[in-house]
């Protein structure tokens, strides 16, 4: 397992370094503009969701390439999957730490000269806590809110990393004649059909509405418990990981 982990670790560190440097460069450019023009307000918003897409893309990209290298070097699929899980957690943690660094930079007094100007970094997951868990957001301290937001981000990044691996695994298991249709339908399903489905059940007074109510309870939104939502994301990620492993055992690497 050590050999495949070192191989994967090298690739992931290079990718995360480039990703982090790009975001830090954008932040420093914003800071430089603010320091030279005191009345300008600049912000980086939604970068936590960029981390989610980054993790999804990495999960898709490394599945076949790294697995093929492992099989060619007589590394068992079980050891490969153990290494893959370690890389999943590490990548998610690094992306979250990058967001934390940007958040710390944005809170520096020098960069917030007034309430109407300065460098602002909005953590998407902390904003999610404010929107979906207003009671939790209002009653807990800033430290607890920050910890909950970044715990949720780590778990979400891990879930989408595994979801990317699942997407690649299904592609590898699928007959070649269906792969083009799969590639076309996947973004349509993820960005059109699925959002429309959730929108429909959220406004429907019939049985789909009860399904949506159950979803709110599972995610802790009804009770205002953000940690219950984090636990639900963790369980969902574990389920995706199990499916990934079952697919990996049966995938032919060519």
Least confident of 106-110, 164-168, 210-214: 106-110
Three-state secondary-structure class, residue 43: strand
pLDDT at residue 123, rounded to an integer: 67
Note whether residue 184 is domain-resident.
no
The answer to whether residue 50 sits within a structural domain is: yes
Q: What pLDDT sits at residue 7?
A: 81
Assess if residue 152 is contained within a domain.
yes
pLDDT digits (tens, 9 = 90+) for 151-176: 888 999 999 999 999 998 888 888 88
- Which two three-digit tokens encode residue 150? 């970044």
Q: How many domains does the chain have?
A: 1
* Helix or strand run (H / E) with residue 118: strand 118-122
Whether 25 is covered by a domain: the verdict is yes
Mean pLDDT of the 231-235 span: 91
What does the pLDDT read at residue 116? 57
Calpha distance 140→142 (Å, rounded): 7
pLDDT in tens, 33-81: 767 776 666 666 555 678 888 899 888 888 777 877 777 777 788 888 8
Query: Is residue 104 in a domain?
Result: yes
Q: Which residue has the higher pLDDT, 206 or 169?
A: 169
Residue 125 has pLDDT above 90, yes or no: no
Domain carrying residue 141: 2-173+235-250
> Which helix (H) or strand (E) segment is 125 a member of?
helix 124-132
27-35: list long-range contacts, CB under 8 Å, 24+ apart: 27/102, 27/105, 27/106, 27/119, 27/121, 30/119, 31/105, 31/111, 31/119, 34/111, 34/117, 34/118, 34/119, 35/110, 35/111
Q: Note whether residue 86 is domain-resident.
A: yes
Top-confidence residue, 225 or 35 = 225
**Cα-flanking dihedrals φ and ψ of residue 204, to 5°?**
-85, 135
pLDDT the model gives residue 41: 65
pLDDT higher at 141 or 242: 242
pLDDT over 70 at 95, yes or no: yes
Specify if 8 maps to a domain: yes
Residue 132 lies in a domain: yes
Please give the pLDDT value at position 25: 86
How high does pLDDT run on average in the chain?
80
pLDDT category, 227, cuts 50, 70, 90? confident
So what's the pLDDT on residue 237? Answer: 92
Q: With bands split at pLDDT 50, 70 and 90, how would you rate the model's confidence at 234?
A: very high
Rounded mean pLDDT, 19-29: 84
């Amino acid at each position: 397992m050590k050999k495949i982990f070192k191989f994967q670790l090298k690739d992931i560190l290079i990718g995360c370094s480039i990703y982090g440097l790009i975001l830090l460069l954008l932040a420093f450019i914003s800071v430089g503009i603010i320091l030279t023009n005191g009345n300008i307000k600049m912000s980086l918003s939604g970068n936590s969701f960029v981390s989610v897409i980054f993790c999804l893309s990495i999960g898709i990209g490394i599945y076949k390439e790294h697995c093929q290298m492992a099989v060619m070097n007589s590394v068992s699929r079980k050891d490969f999957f153990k290494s893959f899980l370690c890389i999943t957690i590490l990548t998610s943690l690094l992306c979250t730490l990058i967001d934390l660094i940007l958040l710390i930079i944005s809170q520096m007094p020098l960069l917030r000269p007034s309430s109407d100007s300065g460098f602002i970094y909005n953590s998407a997951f902390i904003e999610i806590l404010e929107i979906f868990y207003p009671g939790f957001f209002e009653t807990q301290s800033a430290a607890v809110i920050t910890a909950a937001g970044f715990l949720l981000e780590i778990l979400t990044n891990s879930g989408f990393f595994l979801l990317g691996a699942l997407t690649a695994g299904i592609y590898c298991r699928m007959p070649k004649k269906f792969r083009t249709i799969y590639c076309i339908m996947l973004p349509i399903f993820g960005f059109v059909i699925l959002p429309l489905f959730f929108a429909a059940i959220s406004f429907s007074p019939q049985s789909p509405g009860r399904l949506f109510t159950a979803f709110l309870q599972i995610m802790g939104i009804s009770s205002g418990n953000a940690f219950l939502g984090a636990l639900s994301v963790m369980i969902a990620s574990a389920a995706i990981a199990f499916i990934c492993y079952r697919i990996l055992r049966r995938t032919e690497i060519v």
